[in-house]
Amino acid sequence: MSLGRRDLLKFLGGAAAGAIFTPVPWKLIDDVSIWTQNWSWLPLVPRGEIQSKYTTCTLCSSGCPVRVRCAGAQPVSMWGAAGHRLCPIGLSAHHLPYHPGRLARPMEHTQGGKWQPITLEAAVERISTGLSGCLRQRGSIAIVDGRAGTTASLLYKRFVAQTNAAVYIADETTARNGIDLDRTSTLLSLGVPLQDSWGEPGHVMRLQADGKLTVIHAEARASATASLADTWLPLAPGAETAFVLALAHVILKDGIYDRGRIQKAENFRSFETLIAAFSPERVAAATGLAPDVIGDVARQLAQAGPSVVLAESRPGVDGADELATAVAALNLLIGSEGSEGGILARPEVPVHDSLKDASRVPATTLAAVPDHSVKVLWLDDAEIPWAVLERKLAPEHLVISVSAWPTGAAAHAGLFVPAPLFLESVRDAAAPADSAAAWFRITSPVLPAPPESREGVDLLSQVAEKIGLTPTDSLVDHLHRRAEAIRTAGHGQVVSYADGTATGIAAFSSAEDFWNALANGGAWTQAASAKAPPRLRLPGENSSLEKTMRTATPPPSNPGTAAELPLVVSAYTGPPAASPVLSKLYEESGLKEPPDTAFIHPQTAERAGLKPGARAMVEAGNVKRPVLLEISTLVMPGTLHVSAAPEFHPARPKHSIAGTTAANGRLVRARIWNV
Amino acid sequence: MTKETVKTRPARYGMVIDLDRCNGCGACMIACAVENNVPACPEGVTDRTGITWMRVQKLSNGQSFPDSRTAFIPVMCQQCGDKTPCVSVCPQQAVEVDEASGIVDQMPQRCLGCRYCMVACPYHARYFNWWDPAWPNGMERTLNPDVAPRMRGVVEKCNFCHGRYQEARAKAAVDGAAERAVEYTTACAEACPTGAITFGDLDDPGSEVAQLAKSENAFRLLEKLGTGPKVHYISKRAWVRAAAGSSLAAETREVRHG
Amino acid sequence: MDRGLIIRGVRRCSFGRFALWMVPWALLLIVGCYAAFLCLYEGLHHTNMDNRFAFGLWIFLDLTVIALGAGAFFTGFLLYVMKRKELQAVINSAVVIGFICYSGAVAVLAVDVGQPLRAWFTFWHPNTHSMLTEVTFCISVYLTVLAIEYLPVILKNRKLRQVPSFLVFEFQLHKLMYVLAGVGTFLSFFHQGSLGGLYGVLHARPFVFREGFAIWPSTFFLFILSAAAVGPSFILLTTWLVSKVTRKELVKPAVFRSLAHVSGVLLIVYVLFKSIDTLIWINGTSPGLGFAAYDYYAWKPFGTWILFTEIIVLGLVPALLLLNEKRLPSRGWLILAAMLASSGVALNRFVLTIQTLALPTLPFDQFLSYWPSWQETATFLAVVAYGVLVYSFSFRYLTLFPQEKELSRI
């Protein structure tokens, strides 16, 4: 039999037709579909033994206990430990080292305003030159510490004590005092986002749900905190101080306070006279609250104690000091200072002898620093509006920022030195606002820090050596020493993160034991005790509060022309950056207000002829920013609300209106128009 | 007036979410995304094309300032127990209800991406991969090793943390425990800072989740459709129940007379 | 240049002119193929569909095209089964149109699904409870039937007839035509129905859910009826259009009237059942699931006008016009009626696909709108272009209208 070309073709044709009835082509199609999808487009998951590591979250001052789930050495998820739960940013903190906006190299601002990478040596050199130039000028160096009350703070203070040219700026309120929240019955919050980035995650809500805490919240917007408060007071923006003084007025008038103690306070008579002007009837118009509502709140605070009044702190903002003074006076009046369930002085965390002197160096407030006096400004994770800082700078200045994120004020720095992130460093956590206990909690590294990153204090020590000052040992050494000082002092106990058990400090026989207990997941803590303050002082007639009545004016019922409105900036206190996955989830769910969005009541928008859903410009003080204008029935008519949020996208424009306008006053008038 | 007892098929796992405890922080969403390797967004993703197995939505009482109020409601796959709408429509059996757990499973490797199940689902709990999954450079190192990332062109959704369930089953098998004794919890329930989410065995009358599901303020989404969702919601606030469309018998009266 | 290919006895324009006509359509096809390539290669984010609008322009137009393509099966049914011999005049054209509609729809579906390479999974792991499985099975088989029906039309080409074995093959196929028409009719009835069932079974989507008989919701039958009603209208419309474009009489006026009459009868029946179905749905089905029907129409722009338009303006009105085909003053009215009827079926498919997805289900949902992206539009236009190209070739080289020769002699 001879085979021709035709036969071959026939055979091939038959084979092809027959193959269709075999699984081969179909299996191939399936495999191709899998290959095309796996191939370079589909990431592979990490492999390695699954294990848990315990550490302390240092993203904010809450210092939550964390269980890091690792595959091999790689963290793959974060969970709260010892009965604590984490906030969304903490839950995704293991993404942060890979955040595209993270800067891991020292940078310098060029003349053109662009970032340019430099070596660490060059950065140290430049800082040294900057510092040595003004070592003889008192107050020409300012160090702003974003994590007051930590061991690093003591090292900054030590530097300040050495030079005389430097001032140490930090808000030490929380480091010194804490709220004994677990025993508080009534909490009045003035715009504090209790349900959102304040205190330990879920703390307030759990106390409320368990019926232990009643929350009264005053805010010009039906925020989450307002909606979940037991009582929400739609307080007009700018009238907070007047409102607080009116509460004091009712309490004094009704005599519902501890007369024996309070009447002995310094300035009592003068305070009484001052307060007389703030009757609920007189402040009603400015606050937008009916006199009997103010009366009820005052009586609830005085009688349903222990009560605490809480206002958000806004460093450097006009009017913030008056509000703080008034709130302090009211807290005094309702007996929350130094009493159980109130505001307690935090026990001191023992300090090693080598830093005892440094610990006595006082912190300065930014307000106390004269304008245009600072030649070298050192920012360590400081979240202060740039406009506030800018005012303090001399014409010739150098701003150094030590942080992982070139956002907020850090965006304006002349020099940027990267700091290691949480999970990359050894640090101690600052003290939490919603607990009055003393804490010493350290985080231990799970991932390596970028080679050119430095802790702020370690960098400063390197610089100090260069300019002829005594360098300090590293932060890690000082943390070890402090742990030993705590152990030898012999107070308090260690709570283990792995199982939540508490062990008395006496059980730790060696420094190493104690350190390991902390570094492998443990918190040293010492409970605060109620102790009345030795001397009570009330603000008198001559205090800054006197002008409050004049400045508190009701919001305009008719905004008139193309919207000149009182600007309210929503409060946000939290880490400056979040995981890109979290940003995505927030954007897609619309759960958090996106930054650079202005909200206005539909009536106000209509009356002012503003077009919602469109781009608009907001001008407040000397800042002009484009925003997206949205209408919302949650905001008070006649006001303009601008959202402040963490810089989810560090690539976005650096200073938001929320940060800058705060400088121009607690209540600024903003002009808004469509573009 | 007493409410009828909740009727579901032998269901096993279910969830109760206390809306009065939800402050809209979003911890459940990120815990879910981290657990289940939900990708970070590529450029151009929107609220309508992004993947959020768990999405916390806002409820409004519809009033204007100062009577306006906001509440939050986490919505994910409701794990329908009766006539599960997405199961019967799938042309190639990529969706099935697991007999043992009652969980509605989506098999991405079987999915054709026709999206008929998404049309069938009234809860909008199903998400399609409009993009290739992408993470910022290096971040794929943080993926959960227990869950495979999905490819472009397939549908995915909440599966009550299937990876965790499998792990718990494997553990129970090693310990010689019965299938009914498999206990685990979902990532969202583990993460919720206020304890608003309770997860457990609905068939066990003594379990916390079964007790809560029977409470008089408990309701389910679109109950009248008869899909028997196994996610229950609780709120003492009448407006929250109304805004979430609760069809409690007591509710309709309240709304009518209120 | 292509003289040898053109059928004897009819006149066709010059090849140059023909090429000029084809160029823009070919360009459109190329642009559409590029758009489809983007969707296939980079992902469906090139469309404006989203998690709520999981179906969009493509599914809406697929359903419409398949309904209009029903003209093929129904004309076949009338000709071969009901023995309406006058329809022999349009059957070839109807088959080509049916083939174009179905193959085009399948091509678009291949772009529409996220993993087209897994399309065969439906045959390997079929879910017999899914209407989509039924649709997939029927459409793939029916497309094959259409291809076989198309074959003899092609084989009748002057040049191809010169191959003797083709001639024998064609002759054998012809004997099969009655069987194929029967099978095609059955398959078509079934998948048209299943396409309707696709929506009717969605018991958790009260806007489209319908009760019915046994496992089939009422939309199953309504889809069959509407497709059968509109199919002849569409054949009428396309025949008229081709005759306008080519400036030739292609069929005798009686054919037009016959198509119109069939269309009218079925349409009036459809309108009747559709109205009953709508009333049952408004008063029973929808409220039973907790949704008051009037709420759906509170969302602008989808007011009750859409229901009125669908049933009266694009249903009852063309039905009455078509039924009175003998009394209409001019053919223009007939064409208008056929257009209205065809638009009616398109509107029905639009309502089921787009309005369903735009409407909120959860009380805290939003009403959403959707507009197709250029990639979606271009991909679909490519199918139109493909249709025009295939039809133009067929018209030029094959016998689509047997009466043309006779009419051109007059």
Residue A43 located in a structural domain: no
Say which CATH architecture domain B13-257 belongs to: 2-Layer Sandwich (3.30)
Asked if the C-beta of B70 comes within 8 angstroms of chain C's C-beta atoms, the answer is: no
- Asked if A64 and A211 sit in the same domain, the reply is no
- Domain boundary (A283, A317, A341) is at A341
pLDDT tens-place string over residues A34-68: 666 555 566 778 888 999 999 999 998 899 999 99
Whether B89 and B49 have beta carbons less than 8 Å apart is answered as: no
Would you place residue C44 in the very low, low, confident or very high pLDDT band (cuts 50, 70, 90)?
very high
B104 contacts on C by Cβ (under 8 Å): none
For the cut 90, the answer to whether the pLDDT of residue A540 exceeds it is no
B208 token code pair:
């916390």
Provide mean pLDDT across the span B204-219.
Answer: 93
Provide mean pLDDT across the span A442-450.
Answer: 93
A32 contacts on C by Cβ (under 8 Å): 117
Provide mean pLDDT across the span C155-176.
Answer: 80
- Interface mutation vs chain C, best among A21, A24, A33, most C CBs within 10 Å: A33
For the cut 70, the answer to whether the pLDDT of residue B9 exceeds it is no
Whether A637 and A606 have beta carbons less than 8 Å apart is answered as: no
The rounded Cα A650 to chain-centroid distance in angstroms is 16
Asked if the C-beta of A33 comes within 8 angstroms of chain C's C-beta atoms, the answer is: yes
Of the listed ranges A278-292, A311-325, A366-380, C349-363, the one predicted with least confidence: A311-325
**Cα–Cα distance for residue pair C291/C270, rounded to 1 Å:** 26
Would you place residue A653 in the very low, low, confident or very high pLDDT band (cuts 50, 70, 90)?
very low
3-state SS class at C348: helix
Provide mean pLDDT across the span A99-104.
Answer: 87
For the cut 50, the answer to whether the pLDDT of residue B8 exceeds it is no
Would you place residue A659 in the very low, low, confident or very high pLDDT band (cuts 50, 70, 90)?
very low
Residue A542 located in a structural domain: no
> What is the DSSP annotation of B107-144?
-TTT-----HHHHH-TT---EE--S--B-STTGGGGS-
- Looking at the complex, report in whole angstroms how far the Cα of residue C137 sits from the nearest Cα belonging to chain A: 17
For the cut 70, the answer to whether the pLDDT of residue A674 exceeds it is no
Would you place residue B249 in the very low, low, confident or very high pLDDT band (cuts 50, 70, 90)?
very low
Of B35, B68, B69, the CB nearest to A77: B35
Provide mean pLDDT across the span B68-85.
Answer: 93
Can the peptide bond before residue B85 be classed as cis, meaning omega within 30 degrees of 0?
no
Residue A223 located in a structural domain: yes
Asked if the C-beta of C117 comes within 8 angstroms of chain A's C-beta atoms, the answer is: yes
A454 token code pair:
């430095």
C126 contacts on B by Cβ (under 8 Å): 91-93
pLDDT for A267: 87
- Asked if A448 and A359 sit in the same domain, the reply is yes
Contact assignment for C117 to A30 by CB distance below 8 Å: yes
ipTM of predicted complex: 0.91
For the cut 60, the answer to whether the pLDDT of residue B2 exceeds it is no
Of the listed ranges A96-105, A633-642, B102-111, B172-181, the one predicted with least confidence: B172-181
Percentage with pLDDT > 90 across chain A: 49
pLDDT for A553: 52
- Asked if A189 and A294 sit in the same domain, the reply is yes
For the cut 60, the answer to whether the pLDDT of residue B10 exceeds it is no
CATH ID of C3-409, from 2.40.160.10, 3.20.20.70, 1.20.1630.10, 1.20.58.110: 1.20.1630.10
- Treating both helix axes as pointing N-terminal to C-terminal, what angle do B27-35 and A580-589 enclose, rounded to 10 degrees? 130
Provide mean pLDDT across the span B181-190.
Answer: 92
- Asked if A199 and A325 sit in the same domain, the reply is yes
Asked if the C-beta of B57 comes within 8 angstroms of chain C's C-beta atoms, the answer is: yes
Q: What is the 3-state secondary structure (H, E, C) of C127-174?
A: CCCCHHHHHHHHHHHHHHHHHHHHHHHHHCCCCHHHCHHHHHHHHHHH
**Cα–Cα distance for residue pair A345/C71, rounded to 1 Å:** 87
Give, as one character, the DSSP assignment of residue C353: I
pLDDT for A645: 54
Can the peptide bond before residue A646 be classed as cis, meaning omega within 30 degrees of 0?
no
- Asked if A480 and A360 sit in the same domain, the reply is yes
C-alpha dihedral over A164, A170, A174, A177, to 10 degrees? 30
Backbone angles phi, psi at A108, to 5 degrees: -130, 140
Helix runs in A380-474, H state only: 386-390, 456-466
> What is the DSSP annotation of C38-92?
HHHHH-GGGSS--SS--S-HHHHHHHHHHHHTHHHHHHHIIIIIS--GGGGGTHH
- Asked if A584 and A491 sit in the same domain, the reply is no
pLDDT tens-place string over residues C108-154: 999 999 988 888 888 888 898 899 998 998 888 888 888 888 888 88
pLDDT for A663: 31
Of the listed ranges A295-299, A646-650, B56-60, C260-264, the one predicted with least confidence: A646-650
More confident residue, C407 or B126: B126
**Cα–Cα distance for residue pair B188/B195, rounded to 1 Å:** 10
pLDDT tens-place string over residues A135-149: 888 889 999 998 999
What is the Cβ-side half-sphere exposure of residue C89, based on CA atoms within 13 angstroms?
Answer: 24
Q: Which residue of A has its CA nearest to B26?
A: A88
**Cα–Cα distance for residue pair B102/B13, rounded to 1 Å:** 6
A292 token code pair:
């009997």
- Asked if A162 and A220 sit in the same domain, the reply is no
For the cut 90, the answer to whether the pLDDT of residue A216 exceeds it is yes
**Cα–Cα distance for residue pair C189/A113, rounded to 1 Å:** 71
For the cut 80, the answer to whether the pLDDT of residue B251 exceeds it is no
| Mean pLDDT computed over every residue of chain B | 88
Would you place residue A101 in the very low, low, confident or very high pLDDT band (cuts 50, 70, 90)?
confident
Of B49, B123, B128, the CB nearest to C114: B128
Of B25, B57, B69, the CB nearest to A88: B25
Give C125's contacts (C-beta < 8 A, 6+ positions apart): B92, B93, B110
pLDDT for A260: 87
Instruction: Write down the residue that tokens 């304008």 correspond to.
Output: A371
**Cα–Cα distance for residue pair A480/B158, rounded to 1 Å:** 46
pLDDT for A668: 53
Whether B185 and B13 have beta carbons less than 8 Å apart is answered as: no
Q: Which amino acid is at A343?
A: I
- Looking at the complex, report in whole angstroms how far the Cα of residue C282 sits from the nearest Cα belonging to chain B: 16
| Mean pLDDT computed over every residue of chain C | 90
For the cut 50, the answer to whether the pLDDT of residue C176 exceeds it is yes
pLDDT for A559: 41
Contact assignment for A33 to C118 by CB distance below 8 Å: yes
Q: Which is it for the CA torsion C79, C85, C86, C88, positive or negative?
A: positive
- Asked if A656 and A558 sit in the same domain, the reply is yes
Which of B14, B17, B18 is closest to B81 using CA atoms? B14
pLDDT for A670: 61
Contact assignment for C45 to B130 by CB distance below 8 Å: yes
Sequence ranges of the domains in chain C:
3-409
Domain of residue A271, residue span = 181-341
Contact assignment for B145 to A45 by CB distance below 8 Å: yes
Residue A533 located in a structural domain: no
For the cut 70, the answer to whether the pLDDT of residue A12 exceeds it is yes
pLDDT for A2: 76
Which of B79, B192, B71 is closest to B126 using CA atoms? B79
- Asked if A469 and A565 sit in the same domain, the reply is no
pLDDT tens-place string over residues A394-413: 999 999 999 988 877 888 88
Provide mean pLDDT across the span C149-162.
Answer: 82
Sequence ranges of the domains in chain B:
13-257
pLDDT for A412: 85
- Asked if A114 and A71 sit in the same domain, the reply is no
> What is the DSSP annotation of A182-248?
GG-SEEEEES--TTSSSSSTTHHHHHHHTTS-EEEEE-SB--HHHHHSSEEE-PPTT-HHHHHHHHH
pLDDT for A94: 95
Provide mean pLDDT across the span B85-104.
Answer: 92
Instruction: Write down the residue that tokens 């099966």 correspond to.
Output: C73
Number of structural domains (chain A) is: 5
Contact assignment for B152 to C43 by CB distance below 8 Å: yes
